[in-house]
Homo-oligomer: A and B are copies of this chain.
Amino acid sequence: MSHTFLEELHKGFAQQHTIEGKTLVDERSEFQHIMIFDAPAVGRVLVLDQIVQLTTRDECGYSEMLAHLPYFELKAKGITASRGLIIGGGDGAVAEEFLKHSSMSVVDMAEIDPKVIEHSKEYLKEAHKGAFDNSRLKVHVTDGAAFICEPSSIGAFDIIAADRPDPVGPAKVLFADEFYSSVSKALKPHGIALFQTGVPHFQQSELAETLPQLGRAFRHVGVVVSVVPTYVGGFMALTWASNGTKLGDAPFDAVAKAYQASGIKTDYYNADIHRASMALPNWMKRLMPG
């Protein structure tokens, strides 16, 4: 067995990690190939279909942004979110972030692959910190694209976080027009949805294609950025969409006050980062349609 993991997601570029010790999980589930291993530079790593999904050292830049950006944007506008939905997210890292807010009385997770949940529960405690034991987390082992269409999902959520992988394999449905339309209907009137939308430096078309799709399903759409070192390629794009509350126009002071008052501990997110995530470099603005 090789003791090196190579991710070849982008043509002509690869990231390579030394695997430390024994590979903890190396299994083909019904849906995908799952690996979990320790790597000296980045901590414990979750890999699906040869693509890095999470490392314990940098997942904060991803999971905190999916949860706290929309939460504090709403809070700064006087709205206290009480129900969140995670599409995917079987590793529990985003769930842990939502659950930091005691106002979130129910957090639903729609994860298609029970094996991801099973192995994450055992090997990724540093990422989910026991979120699966929290009674406010409702785990649904099902296709997120189907879950979002259920009658009980209509108008149900303050925040929807599409913690989706790249548009390959079982995740393809999470990039379809039908999916966006269902997410739109599942939001409360003031609700905000965020979608993992790749690393534009290497995946320009993912951003360029997602925005017009969102534009057909929602009243407001936009892009924010985060920085997750092992999503190699610099800025990661999170597209957002809503029919009521925009993401990014809350006054800075109100966001800062809401964050401070919450008392939550974060490793990446803070009010300055909230505002900074709206700042796009010129080259990225040029990728965005009209």
A286: nearest residue on chain B (CB-CB)? B267
Q: Write out the residue numbers on chain B whose beta carbons fall within 8 Å of the beta carbon of A58.
A: 201, 234
The answer for the CA separation of A267 and B283 in the assembled complex, in Å, is 5
A31 CB-CB contact with B under 8 Å: no
Q: Which of A6-14, A86-94, A120-128, A208-216 contacts B (4 or more CB under 8 A)?
A: A6-14
Q: Is the CB of A273 within 8 A of B281?
A: yes
CB distance from A221 to the nearest CB of B (A): 18
User: Out of B13, B57, B201, which one reaches A201, CB within 8 Å?
Assistant: B57
User: Out of B14, B228, B279, B283, which one reaches A15, CB within 8 Å?
Assistant: B14
Per the 8 Å Cβ criterion, residues 46-61 of A in contact with B are: 57-58, 60-61
CB distance from A6 to the nearest CB of B (A): 7
The answer for the CA separation of A57 and B40 in the assembled complex, in Å, is 29
A42 CB-CB contact with B under 8 Å: yes
Interface size class of A (residues with CB under 8 A): 35 or more
A276 CB-CB contact with B under 8 Å: yes
Q: Write out the residue numbers on chain B whose beta carbons fall within 8 Å of the beta carbon of A11.
A: 18, 40-41
A280 CB-CB contact with B under 8 Å: yes
User: Out of B6, B13, B41, which one reaches A10, CB within 8 Å?
Assistant: B41
Per the 8 Å Cβ criterion, residues 274-290 of A in contact with B are: 275-283
A57: nearest residue on chain B (CB-CB)? B201
A147 CB-CB contact with B under 8 Å: no
Complex copy number for this chain: 2
Q: Is the CB of B278 within 8 A of A272?
A: yes
A179 CB-CB contact with B under 8 Å: no
A152 CB-CB contact with B under 8 Å: no
User: Out of B229, B234, B276, which one reaches A228, CB within 8 Å?
Assistant: B234
User: Out of B6, B20, B229, B235, which one reaches A232, CB within 8 Å?
Assistant: B229
A234: nearest residue on chain B (CB-CB)? B229
A131 CB-CB contact with B under 8 Å: no
Q: Write out the residue numbers on chain B whose beta carbons fall within 8 Å of the beta carbon of A40.
A: 11-12
User: Out of B17, B201, B279, which one reaches A273, CB within 8 Å?
Assistant: B279
The answer for the CA separation of A277 and B234 in the assembled complex, in Å, is 14
Per the 8 Å Cβ criterion, residues 214-233 of A in contact with B are: 227-229, 232-233
The answer for the CA separation of A6 and B16 in the assembled complex, in Å, is 9
24 A-B contact pairs sorted by A residue (CB < 8 Å) = A6-B16, A11-B40, A11-B41, A12-B18, A12-B41, A13-B39, A14-B15, A15-B16, A199-B229, A201-B229, A227-B227, A227-B234, A228-B234, A229-B234, A232-B232, A267-B281, A267-B283, A269-B281, A269-B282, A272-B280, A275-B275, A276-B276, A276-B277, A276-B279
Ranked nearest first, the 9 interchain pairs of A and B with the lowest CB-CB distance are: A12-B40, A276-B279, A276-B276, A272-B279, A229-B234, A12-B41, A13-B41, A14-B16, A12-B18
